[in-house]
Chain A
Amino acid sequence: MYCYRCNGALDLKKDSCSRCGADVRRFKKIVYASNRRYNDALTKANARNLTGAREDLLASLHLYKKNIPARNLLGLVYYALGEPAEAMKQWSISRDISSGSNAAERFINSMQKNMRELNSENNGIQMFNQALLNARNGARDMAIIQLKKVVSVHTNMTKAYNLLALLYIEAGKTDQAEKMLLRCLEVDRGNDTAVRYLKALREAEIQGKTRNAGSVGDEERDSLIIPVRFRDYGSYLSNALYILLGLILGILIAWFVIVPGRVEQRLGKAEAEKLSYEAEISDLQQRLASAEVTTAEAETTSGEEDDPTVKPDDGPIERMPDYPVNTRWVPNQNDVEQGVVDVNAGRYAETVNEIFRVDQSNLSPTNQMHYLNIISLLFSEGVYQRMQAIAYNYFATADYEGAALYYDALSRLHPEGPEFRSKAGQAYEATDDKRTAANRYWQTAVLFPETATGRDAIYRYVMLTGNSDVPQYEGEIPLEYYRQPLSYSDIVSKIGGPDD
């Protein structure tokens, strides 16, 4: 025992504090009274009269609030009555009063170690509070369901038993109410509420007022409506299993229902795109065919007035023979691939005959690339020399049409060489195609004025046309127009070419 004033240790045989001199007679009487109530409570607690023990312990603490054994026992009683939070509260206060060798410290640690049980207890308390709220709000059926769950898990929660019994009594289910009250009294023999309810039930039973004919039917209905299957709050494994099953089911639904729909939708889109491209290709082919026809008609109707190299007073010149219209060539991948096959097979002449009549502007970018690759292949394989030999042979055997064709082709392959244009002019002159011959001489003279072939071309032009001089090209000819083979179409568009 410690002094109430200085907290010094008291000698129980003396009436005053040896440290501060305070009179402790009344204080000792109060403490003794508190201890007596504690002893009574302990006896009642041992007899499982928890409510009586709680009342004694509360009285003991009202006398002396620092009675540590009484406070710790009160916590235990609360815990046994299904009130773990109240128990924690009492033990926490006890620990604050005396932090030494206090049993409250052990109780608190024990509870905090078992968090799962603590959470389960808390869930039970929350559900009881909710049930109480529902009962007050008139939702008694819901309250009964919740309380049945609570007492099935927390079998020592006497408040829940009593409230459930009260609701059963109100619903006329006296048998079930009695059952709950008896279970409550098994936990707490001194529970005055349960005793009072039970007494009222017994009296009513004797008087035959509370039991009626429909009570048995109500009981059966209750057992039918309310499933008597309770779930433990701590069944995390089953929860995880349910979630896993849900996920698997969701994935299966997505796989068998959603994915096929998406695939079908994509296939439909691809089919629509394919049809639109086919329609576009068909339209372009029609436009290409009509453009070719229009070009052929324009060439037949256009006269020599379009040729800037021939003077108006040159007199009638025969119409330039057109090259045969290349109707077989269709700028598609197959023809180009066939050209590659021909080159690889050594059929250079056949390849050249087809390829050199193709206008690159009519080719797709892919075919243009193949076209240029084939030309490169032809060079690398010596077709250039072979064509030269063929052209020479044609010329030597007086097959001037063939020679003109090949020399024009060679001048395309090798635009930097003036001799092919000049030779082409000579071939055309031999076939009496004076207009085209004059054109080739003029090209040679304008493009290569410094070379011997260029000067020879001037002489031939003058001799053929009877003009005193070669007409100059208007403007400066960019070097790249004839230095770079790939820009030859630009030369043709500016000053005319073999196909003009």
Chain B
Amino acid sequence: MIDFEEELKKFKPSLEIDRTEDAVLEQEENDMVDLMIELMSEYRTNQ
């Protein structure tokens, strides 16, 4: 059975077009490559 209130919470407001530029500027995305570089840097420091 569907729990209406719980399901409703899963819906998020859509991004509006005039907010796109702000959303791009607020974007802070780290990927696996960043993680690898960070680990390698730590490894070198420890050595």
Contacts and interface: CB of A to CB of B under 8 A. Distances in A.
Contacts of A193: 10
A85 B14 contact: yes
A64 B32 contact: yes
Interface on chain B toward A: helix, strand, loop, or mixed SS?
helix
B7 to A, nearest CB: 6
Contacts of A83: 14-15
Interface string B25-38: 00101111110110
Nearest to B21: A92
Contact of B31 (A65, A86, A128, A132): A65
Interface stretch (A163-171, A441-449, A456-464): A163-171
B15 A85 contact: yes
B15 A125 contact: yes
A242 interface: no
A26 interface: yes
Nearest to B24: A92
B20 A61 contact: no
Most chain A CB neighbours (cut-off 10 Å) among B1, B4, B31, B34: B31
Contacts, number: 91
A62 B31 contact: yes
B12 to A, nearest CB: 8
A125 B17 contact: yes
A27 B36 contact: yes
Given A30-B33, A86-B15, A122-B18, A200 B27 contact: no
B4 A166 contact: yes
Contacts of B17: 84-85, 88, 118, 121-122, 125
A66 B33 CA distance: 10
Nearest to A170: B4
Given A159-B11, A197-B2, A30 B32 contact: yes
A136 interface: yes
Nearest to A210: B1
Contacts of B4: 166, 169-170
Nearest to A126: B16
Contacts of B20: 85, 88-89, 92
Contacts of A136: 8
Contacts of A63: 31-33
Contacts of B11: 132, 159, 162-163
B16 A64 contact: no
B25 to A, nearest CB: 10
Given A85-B16, A89-B20, A193-B10, 8 more contacts: A5-B37, A31-B33, A83-B14, A85-B19, A88-B20, A89-B23, A125-B14, A128-B13
17 contacts: A30-B36, A61-B29, A62-B32, A65-B29, A65-B30, A66-B33, A85-B14, A85-B19, A89-B15, A89-B24, A92-B21, A125-B15, A125-B16, A162-B11, A166-B4, A166-B8, A200-B1
